[in-house]
Every structure is written in C-alpha cells, then in structure tokens.
Amino acid sequence: MDIAADEHVKKRTAAGRMLSLLDAFLRGGGALRLTDISRYADLPLPTAHRLVRELLEWGGLEQDEEGCYRLSGKFLRLASSSTRGLEIREHALPHLIALHRTSGQAVQLAVRDDRDIVYLEALRTHPNWSGEARIGGRLPLHVSAAGLVLLAGAGPDALEDYLSGPLKRYTEHTPVDPDAIRATVARIRQEKAMIAERFITHDAGGVGVPVTNGMGETIAAVGLIYFTGKDRPQALLDMVRLAAHRISRAICERPGQPDPRTVDFKRRHAGLL
C-alpha cells in the first residue's frame, strides 16, 4: 500500500474500518483468507489481522481447517431480531418448501437492494449448486426473472434511475436495451409474472412472481430456476404463482394491519381475493 492509500486508511474511523472489513465478505463471496480480506476491505494486512482477531473473540467470525474466515451465525441471529426481510422469509418458507418439492426445481425468495436482487432464501436441487442464487447472493436486477419483477414493483422513478446506470451483459440474451427493459417491465406490471430464458447462462431460465403486502405493494419475489430444453416454464409458472399468492396472503393476515376496508380494497386490486 502506497503512502496516499495509507493516509486514506488512517482517515477512516475505527467503525469505518470494521465496516469495510465486513463488507469484504459481500464482495468476496463467503470464505476468505486474511490476504483476501485485506484486499477487499482496502486495509493494511496488520490492520485487517487485528480486526479479524477482534471479530473472532466477539464471535462474529469462524475459521475453518484451511484458515479461511466466514461470518458466523451470530450475524444471522442479530438480523433475525429486527430485519424485515427475515420476517418475510418466515412467512414464505413453508410455501417455498412446498414449491420446491412440487416442482423439483431450485426456488428462491428475493428482495431488492438498490440496483441488486438479494436472495433471502434458496432451496437448491443439489447441495453443490454454484452461483449467486444462494442465501445472501446478489445479482443485477435486469438479469433474472425475479429481479425484473422487483424492478417492475419499484415504481417509474426507480426504473429510470436503474436504466441510467450500467447494464451488465452475461449472454447475448441478457436485456441491456433500456427501451426493451421498459417494455418488459410494463408487461410484468400487467401480467404479474416474468419468464427469463438464457439471461445469465444458456442452459437455464427463471420464473418470477411478485409477493405483495396488504397495500398491494411488491415487497419480494418468488423465483424458480429451470433448465432450458428440458423443463416447460409455462407449466411451472402456475406453481410459482400459487406459492407467491399464498405467501402474500400469509403476510396480509399478520396482526397490526391498516383499516380492514383499505386492506380489502388493496388485496382485490392485487388479485389476492
């Protein structure tokens, strides 16, 4: 690290350095060596080592036999006490399990985080399933069916803001033309569903359906991954719709809702009655 970079690190507060270290696990994707943490967090190796030791003592990190570090379950316990996303997951999980068993496909529950889709749950067909479609995984909104469903539910201003930024292409089928994405979003708002084929890889596609709250707002999306040339996405769509509908109903029926007349109107408008 050069002198200018070293001065940049010194200007960061202790909290800022610790947050940078935690953010390294998002950028690095899971198990990291100390050198990886130092690089992703933009911290000198001695500083990264000291902060890692502090997190280990606090119980926030775990170290495996190969010397790699992972975030511990303590962060999940902390998040589950206050995170709205995990509350949604609790309502959704029984219906996701039923969808996974009925369809025989990989199933996810996702929410929007700025320009990304973030997976709150991922039920896989194989334990060695790779890629970002895992719990905590992130992908740009425009490259998956569930992501486009969330983008459609975010509103016109959010859509235009998203389209003003860079749009990554994974295959020749990945939508990157703003006008094409606007048309797709308009169709999703009408049909309340999306099928995306070969957007990320040539051998897979996805089905996405919105999950709505008592006000009819999209708060999450149910996603399903299928294999192109083998599975029929239209046949899977009804299963995903049913799961999303049941999750939406479970969320609407929780205590502490607005005036029942307002809830009834919004649910009818969202097609939940």
Residue-level pLDDT at 1: 47
Q: Where are the alpha helices (DSSP H) in 209-232?
A: none
Task: Tell me the mean pLDDT in the region 72-90.
Answer: 71
pTM summary value: 0.71
* Residue after which a domain boundary falls, among 23, 51, 77: 77
Return the axis-axis angle of helices 45-58 and 34-41, rounded to nearest 10°: 110
> Is it the case that residue 265 has pLDDT exceeding 90?
no
- 104 & 205 share domain: yes
Other beta carbons within 10 Å of 212: 25
What is each CA distance from 138 to 5, 89, 94, 98, 122, in whole angstroms?
28, 17, 23, 24, 12
* pLDDT tens per residue, range 164-189: 999 999 999 999 999 999 999 999 99
Other beta carbons within 10 Å of 154: 17
- 106 & 61 share domain: no
* pLDDT tens per residue, range 251-262: 988 655 455 555
Total domain count, the chain? 2
Closest by CA to 107, choosing from 99, 118, 115, 117, is 99
Closest by CA to 221, choosing from 112, 73, 102, is 112
List residues bridging with 69 in a β-sheet: 32, 63
* pLDDT tens per residue, range 188-239: 999 999 999 999 999 999 999 999 998 899 999 999 999 998 999 999 999 9
What is each CA distance from 48 to 7, 14, 54, 61, 63, in whole angstroms?
16, 12, 10, 13, 15
**72: domain range?**
3-77
User: Average model confidence (pLDDT) for the chain?
Assistant: 86
* Residue after which a domain boundary falls, among 58, 77, 96: 77
